[in-house]
């Protein structure tokens, strides 16, 4: 692969000193872009009505989101371990400049990955369009932006993402606009295959929504016992649905043996680990895109034994078979909590 010359890099770095202002046509700003999703700017809130706030979304997915986000942003485990390697300093500076975007107070791309993780956890999928910016005169790529697409309005085909999203609301009528975005210019992060992928995430969400509202605040003496029994039954059905995902700290149940509580903690931690890898795979998609644009072979390096999926499953199996006891299991899991 022929590398970008020093002279071209000087031109690229000079262009990067100017803000990303312009349109999808040359000569209308500091450069021009190849964005497609800019045509649809209308946004709906993440939760469209009150029925969306149930135990699964407001507690379970919140715990998953917070756990993933803190892994990248706050607990410092990934600093100097998750990194971009085998590339020039110009490549690294370009990557960091534009992945951080505007307004980030931390000069660290891990913070951005934490934001991705937060959005991903509530939807089971995160799609970002990579918008390339080019020089008006030479058409040389020099920068990029990332624009999040609402996954609820995306249909994935073999080569494209069909984005059929609202552009405006007239009274009670929602006006949609459909655009086609090539998959090669998008980051697509899906729920882990180990847990059935995005399709299984959606199905689990539907199953829990069918259970109805968990919280009933009726203090009528004639119905309070009935509501209490109903809530117990709701809990049983809910935990049956999420049994293969494990339980977070705030969705655990009391009336189960300690062994199963510990096993649920292992399951939930494995879910977090698998989701972490999916976020990092999303980063790899961005790096692959930049490699094509900047003619380099950069790689994403991530090597922590405790985040190796096979290693973690081996530790879980040792707990199940009795090779390690409760204390040893707790000591092992403490690594992820600290």
User: How is 189-234 classified by DSSP, letter by letter?
Assistant: EE--GGGTHHHHHHHHHHHHHHT--S------TTTHHHHHHHHHHH
The pLDDT value recorded for residue 217 is: 52
pLDDT at 103: 54
User: What is the number of alpha carbons within 13 Å of residue 195 lying toward its C-beta?
Assistant: 25
This prediction has a pTM of 0.91
What does the pLDDT look like over 231-251, one tens digit per residue?
778 888 888 888 899 987 655
pLDDT reported for residue 270: 97
Do 304 and 81 contact (CB within 8 A), yes or no? Answer: yes
Place of tokens 């939760």: 47
**pLDDT at position 278:** 98
Q: Which residues contact 188 (CB under 8 A, 6 or more apart)?
A: 125, 126, 127, 156, 161, 282, 285
CA atoms of 112 and 109, how far apart (whole Å):
5
Nearest to 114 by CA among 161, 89, 79, 86: 79
Residues in Cβ contact with 69 at an 8 Å cutoff, skipping those fewer than 6 apart: 114, 115, 117, 118
In this predicted structure, what is the pLDDT of residue 102?
Answer: 65
Nearest alpha carbon to residue 131 among 190, 182, 189, 92: 182
Predicted local confidence at residue 129, as pLDDT:
97
Q: Which residues of the chain have pLDDT under 50?
A: 45-53
């Amino acid at each position: 692969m022929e590398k970008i010359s020093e002279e071209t890099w000087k031109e690229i770095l000079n262009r990067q000193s100017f803000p990303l202002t312009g349109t999808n046509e040359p000569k209308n700003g500091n450069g021009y872009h190849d964005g497609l999703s800019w045509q649809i700017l209308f946004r709906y809130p993440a939760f469209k009505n009150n029925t969306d706030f149930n135990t699964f979304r407001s507690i379970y997915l919140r715990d998953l989101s917070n756990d993933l986000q803190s892994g990248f942003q706050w607990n410092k485990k990934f600093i100097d371990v998750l990194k971009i390697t085998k590339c020039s300093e110009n490549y690294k500076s370009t990557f960091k400049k534009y992945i951080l975007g505007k307004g980030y107070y931390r000069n660290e791309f891990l913070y951005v990955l934490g934001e991705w993780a937060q959005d991903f956890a509530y939807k089971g999928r995160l799609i970002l369009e990579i918008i390339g910016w080019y020089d008006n005169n030479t058409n040389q790529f020099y920068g990029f932006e990332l624009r999040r697409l609402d996954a609820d309005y995306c249909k994935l085909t073999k080569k494209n993402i069909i984005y059929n999203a609202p552009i405006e609301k007239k009274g009670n009528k929602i006006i949609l606009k459909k655009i086609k975005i090539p998959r090669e210019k998008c980051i697509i992060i899906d729920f882990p295959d180990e847990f059935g992928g995005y399709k299984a995430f959606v199905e689990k969400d539907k199953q829990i929504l069918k259970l109805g509202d968990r919280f009933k605040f009726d203090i009528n003496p004639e119905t309070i016992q009935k509501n209490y029994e109903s809530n117990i039954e709701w809990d049983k059905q809910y935990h049956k649905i999420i049994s293969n995902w494990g339980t977070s700290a705030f969705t655990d149940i009391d009336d189960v043996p300690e062994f199963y509580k510990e096993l649920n903690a292992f399951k939930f931690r494995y879910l977090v680990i698998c989701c972490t890898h999916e976020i990092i795979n999303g980063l790899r998609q961005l790096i692959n895109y930049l490699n094509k644009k900047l003619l380099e072979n950069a790689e994403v390096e991530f090597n922590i034994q405790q985040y190796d999926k096979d290693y973690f499953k081996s530790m879980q199996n040792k707990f199940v078979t009795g090779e390690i006891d409760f204390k040893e299991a707790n000591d092992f899991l403490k690594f992820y909590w600290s």
